[in-house]
Structure 1
Amino acid sequence: MESYYVTTPIYYVNDEPHLGHIYTTIAADVLARYQRMAGRDVFFLTGVDEHGQKVQQAAEARGIEPIELADQVVERYQSLWPELAITNDDFIRTSSDRHRRGVQAMWRRLENAGAIYKGFYEDWYCVPCETYWTETQLNDADCWEEKHCPDCKRAVEKVQEESYFFRLSAYQDRLLEYINANPDFIGPASRRNEVLRFVESGLNDLSVSRTTFSWGVPVPGDEKHVIYVWIDALTNYLSALGFPDQELPKYWPADVHLIGKDILRFHAIYWPCMLMAADLPLPQRLFAHGWWTVEGEKMSKSKGNALRPADLLEQYDADVIRYFLLREVPFGQDGDFSFSAMKQRYNSDLANDVGNLLNRSLAMLNKYRDGVLAEPGDEQAVDRTLIADVEGMQRDVAAHMNKQAFHLALERISVVVRHGNRYVEENAPWSLAKAGDEARLNTVLYHLAETLRLVALQLMPFMPGKMSAMLNQIQGAELMSQTLTFASHGGWGLLKPGHQCEKPQPLFPRMD
């Protein structure tokens, strides 16, 4: 069986879970669910980054150990994911023994390859961003006199310390060659171009150890140094799979790393170069999504507008949240979250289209046939057009999902739903019943049931709870007990004459 490995970034434990975290994780879950239904052996990883100066300082301010602070935040993530129907196969913590062994093994491989050397580091450091800035960069950003970070505008500190360095510059040409030879390696195209410009401007060697804090993985053989975030955090994608006990773990290389655009450089430049140096395969693809604002404003604690997942879940079903986030904005672009937009999307796509087609189709089937599908009669052109649209939907959705184009996949499904509603109007089952055209009525009702079944199958990764309920109304509990795959359940005509459908139960009542 073909494997499929999808990851989220590991989320930093200095913050509560927020909209950005659930966005990436929902996207990864939809991919994982879709690929399982496509018959692949899926491994879906998420987790947390617990190390670093920020965590150590935050813990000290509270009078607790860093691991205690990490434990508190980890529990919030691990309790949240089931509420959003997240089906991760593993949850990696950088404080775990397995991760420590993986990071130190990666360090040794880099060291043995001659890719690490000891030197002396002096520059300006932003603790919140965990980013170092040269004087030139601060001057270019007009922040030099006040010594503020160009990214977050907070104060930077002058750091002078002994450090180990990774020879990032040595892999510049090789990385450029790889990106140019593999156009799908970085998505979307705008991010790929951004990375190319950065690499072409020249890469400097990377400081990869610290002596100013102790909360992290010690450098093997030199434990006064702590391995810095670039090697520590990024190695989670391997350590979770059993590296180094398995030198080339079963699911490696990753099929796709899903990340936010703020950590693009680390994943698209540092990580591939480290893997090249360690003589390990590079991930197949990484995709950087955009950021969300809320009601037109950037999320921040000071404004009090950071959307808490718990608050969202109090107002909306998890499936509705999942659908909205991946339908409203093209994945890869920035988007704005507003409650009015969510309500409008829900009413238009789910209540008016999907819910309406389900309710009216099953209502007519129960009214005219007591819910039992009869043998369909001869197909007409309008029936064949509907079938072709449904079958085209399945092919198109597969292509969109392979490119992480979730909004296009959902729009393609919506095209079929709207087609189904037009099909009802064009064929008017109520008129067929009144005229006594039993054969044609049987055909129309059958085609509606099959269309609904296959639409629900394609929507299942996005809205697993709602679509399970929808399929239960169409297929019944016996068929729903089977493992749903596109190969076994995706063909037209699997509902047999004599099959009993349930009475319609509204899945998407309108929001007023």
Structure 2
Amino acid sequence: MGHLHSGVLADVLARYARLRRNGWSTEAKGLTQPLFTTGTDEHGMKIQRVAEAQQVTPQALCDRVSERFRQQLRAQGHIYLGEHEGWYAVSDEAFYPASQVRAVQQGTETVHESIETGQRVEWTREINYKFRLSHFREPLIAWLTQCPDAIQPRSMHERILAEIQAGLSDLSISRPRQRLYWGIPVPDDEAHTMYVWVDALINYLTALGYPHQAGPPGWPADVHVVGKDIVRFHAIYWPALLMAAGLPLPRTIVAHAHWTVNKAKMSKSKGNSVNPFEAIDTYGLDTIRYYLMRIGGNIGTDADYAPARLEEHKRKYLQGQLGNLLSRILAPKIQARLAPGKQGMLEQPAWTEAEAALLRARDALPTTFDRHMEQLELSKAMQAAFQALALANELVQHTAPWSVEASTEASCRMP
């Protein structure tokens, strides 16, 4: 469900940008249409056809593109071979500093886990290739200080800035092949395989044509949408790698919060994870999209996935407000009264207070909605829209334009 949340959030922001044709417009980025990327896409037909056209295997094509980025980092002296040790979480594919690890008691055994993700960590010592992340501490601080909106929400911006200010250790970017045999070999050293995040992050560039285009259209990204559990990779490692490669940084990184289930942390081990495909089959795609944004649209706060609450929102807001209003005003009897040659809208009606209130809400809605969207307050934007819908429903309910007894004047006032 969290992965679906990221995708829907990105889609909503893209739709909003196309609607407003503002600074986020894809046309202004040199793209003919919005482009969504996820994963590495190394098994797709597109990759296969490009490889065939170049008379190489798909694996060779992917390795070549991936290695050009890493060779560029090495050529500029940002990568070296050295010893690395620290707390490593296999499930997170990440090393954590001691400040991000806590000891917990599991029966008679004391184990350690990541404070951020709750995943178990193990003390690991090995020889591998490292990226000089520590050299980018000051540039990263300058970036976040000069760009207060670079990471949203604000609380996440402050947290990442504080972590960088506390000091950065160099980043391990490979694993010994004897320990991790599945992976892309390190260029010129097959005893090591590349750290998965280095390969994953450059997908943002390769999907746009890098390295064949040094400044690919669509880059830098206006908005990176990620879950808060991977914000370190996107807000520290990725910007540093881009700096090292001489490429511009994303303008905004949006790190949305997580989902709980009936107030309990969603976890596969607990058996309370929500299958998004089953949820869509049960409630419908539009309902799930609405719920993800209305309840999960406050990106700084964890949201709760509660079937009873979802049902309530579907009944009260989607059916009771939006659906009910549409069915009423689109009814053939109402439309007939507004048809050309029939009784239409009064040119200068003497609005009642209820009608004037709805008009004020209508006039204020675009500005209010835009302000919330620009501030990435999607939940508040939706609330503003549904408040206007509620006023419209109240007015229609009061005037009852479908009624035979309704006056012509009342029937024809459709603010």
- Find the aligned partners of 2:60 and 2:86 in 1 and give their Cα distance: 32
Q: Does 1:111 align with 2:80?
A: no
- Find the aligned partners of 2:84 and 2:334 in 1 and give their Cα distance: 78
User: 1:188-236 CA deviation, whole Å, 9 max, x = no partner?
Assistant: 0111111111111111111111223232222223333222133211111
Q: CA deviation at 1:124?
A: 3.8
Q: CA deviation at 1:357?
A: 1.5
User: 1:424-475 CA deviation, whole Å, 9 max, x = no partner?
Assistant: 25555367x647535x633x14x3xxxxxxxxxxxxxxxxxxxxxxxxxxxx
Q: Does 1:200 align with 2:171?
A: no
Q: CA deviation at 1:411?
A: 0.7
Q: CA deviation at 1:141?
A: 2.0
- Find the aligned partners of 1:314 and 1:115 in 2 and give their Cα distance: 49
Letter in 1 for 2:14: A
Letter in 1 for 2:172: S
What's the counterpart of residue 401 of structure 1?
373
| SS in structure 1 of the partner of residue 411 of structure 2 | helix
> Bigger relative contact order, structure 1 or 2, given CA contacts below 8 A and separation 6+?
1
- Find the aligned partners of 2:61 and 2:11 in 1 and give their Cα distance: 24
Q: Does 1:214 align with 2:181?
A: yes
Closer, same or farther in 2 for the Cα pair 1:227/1:393, shift >3 Å? same
More off after superposition, 385-394 vs 189-198? 385-394
Closer, same or farther in 2 for the Cα pair 1:284/1:421, shift >3 Å? same
Q: CA deviation at 1:157?
A: 4.2
What's the counterpart of residue 56 of structure 1?
none
What's the counterpart of residue 162 of structure 1?
127
Q: CA deviation at 1:352?
A: 1.6
Q: CA deviation at 1:347?
A: 1.6
Closer, same or farther in 2 for the Cα pair 1:436/1:203, shift >3 Å? closer
Q: CA deviation at 1:327?
A: 0.5
Alignment of 1:310-349 (within 5 A): 310-329=277-296, 330-349=298-317
What's the counterpart of residue 37 of structure 2?
46
Q: CA deviation at 1:386?
A: 3.7
- Find the aligned partners of 1:178 and 1:155 in 2 and give their Cα distance: 33
Aligned match for 1:148, one of 87, 104, 112:
112
Aligned match for 2:319, one of 351, 357, 361:
351
Q: CA deviation at 1:398?
A: 2.7
- Find the aligned partners of 1:308 and 1:430 in 2 and give their Cα distance: 43
- Find the aligned partners of 1:216 and 1:368 in 2 and give their Cα distance: 63
Q: Does 1:228 align with 2:195?
A: yes
Aligned match for 1:37, one of 9, 12, 19:
19
| SS in structure 2 of the partner of residue 255 of structure 1 | coil
Letter in 2 for 1:397: F
| SS in structure 1 of the partner of residue 247 of structure 2 | coil
Closer, same or farther in 2 for the Cα pair 1:378/1:428, shift >3 Å? farther
What's the counterpart of residue 255 of structure 1?
222
What's the counterpart of residue 155 of structure 2?
190
- Find the aligned partners of 2:114 and 2:398 in 1 and give their Cα distance: 60
| SS in structure 1 of the partner of residue 124 of structure 2 | strand
More off after superposition, 31-40 vs 306-315? 31-40
Letter in 2 for 1:240: A
- Find the aligned partners of 1:412 and 1:96 in 2 and give their Cα distance: 50
More off after superposition, 384-393 vs 216-225? 384-393
| SS in structure 1 of the partner of residue 312 of structure 2 | helix
Aligned match for 1:26, one of 1, 5, 8:
8
- Find the aligned partners of 2:18 and 2:235 in 1 and give their Cα distance: 27
Q: How many residues are treated as equivalent by the alignment?
A: 382
What's the counterpart of residue 298 of structure 1?
265
**Maintained 8 Å contact 2:114/2:121:** no
**Maintained 8 Å contact 1:147/1:155:** yes
Any unmatched runs of 5+ in structure 1? 1-18, 51-66, 75-94, 448-512
- Find the aligned partners of 2:376 and 2:320 in 1 and give their Cα distance: 26
Q: Does 1:437 align with 2:408?
A: yes
Letter in 2 for 1:110: L
- Find the aligned partners of 2:199 and 2:148 in 1 and give their Cα distance: 28
**Maintained 8 Å contact 2:87/2:96:** yes
Q: Does 1:237 align with 2:204?
A: yes
Aligned match for 1:422, one of 390, 394, 411:
394
| SS in structure 1 of the partner of residue 39 of structure 2 | strand
| SS in structure 1 of the partner of residue 366 of structure 2 | helix
Q: CA deviation at 1:315?
A: 1.3
What's the counterpart of residue 279 of structure 1?
246
Closer, same or farther in 2 for the Cα pair 1:377/1:259, shift >3 Å? same
Q: CA deviation at 1:355?
A: 1.6
- Find the aligned partners of 2:64 and 2:18 in 1 and give their Cα distance: 30
Identity over aligned pairs, percent: 36
| SS in structure 2 of the partner of residue 47 of structure 1 | coil
**Maintained 8 Å contact 1:99/1:236:** no
- Find the aligned partners of 1:155 and 1:335 in 2 and give their Cα distance: 24
| SS in structure 2 of the partner of residue 48 of structure 1 | coil
User: 1:334-353 CA deviation, whole Å, 9 max, x = no partner?
Assistant: 01111110011112211221
- Find the aligned partners of 1:372 and 1:206 in 2 and give their Cα distance: 69
What's the counterpart of residue 491 of structure 1?
none
- Find the aligned partners of 1:237 and 1:368 in 2 and give their Cα distance: 49
Q: CA deviation at 1:320?
A: 0.5
Closer, same or farther in 2 for the Cα pair 1:25/1:98, shift >3 Å? farther
Alignment of 1:476-487 (within 5 A): none
- TM-score normalised by structure 1 residue count: 0.68
Letter in 1 for 2:114: P
More off after superposition, 144-153 vs 179-188? 144-153
**Maintained 8 Å contact 1:32/1:43:** yes
**Maintained 8 Å contact 2:89/2:121:** yes
What's the counterpart of residue 81 of structure 1?
none
**Maintained 8 Å contact 1:331/1:405:** yes
**Maintained 8 Å contact 2:103/2:113:** no
Q: CA deviation at 1:367?
A: 4.9
What's the counterpart of residue 411 of structure 1?
383
Q: CA deviation at 1:370?
A: 5.7
What's the counterpart of residue 486 of structure 1?
none
What's the counterpart of residue 51 of structure 2?
none
**Maintained 8 Å contact 2:334/2:402:** no
- Find the aligned partners of 1:288 and 1:133 in 2 and give their Cα distance: 19
Closer, same or farther in 2 for the Cα pair 1:180/1:158, shift >3 Å? closer
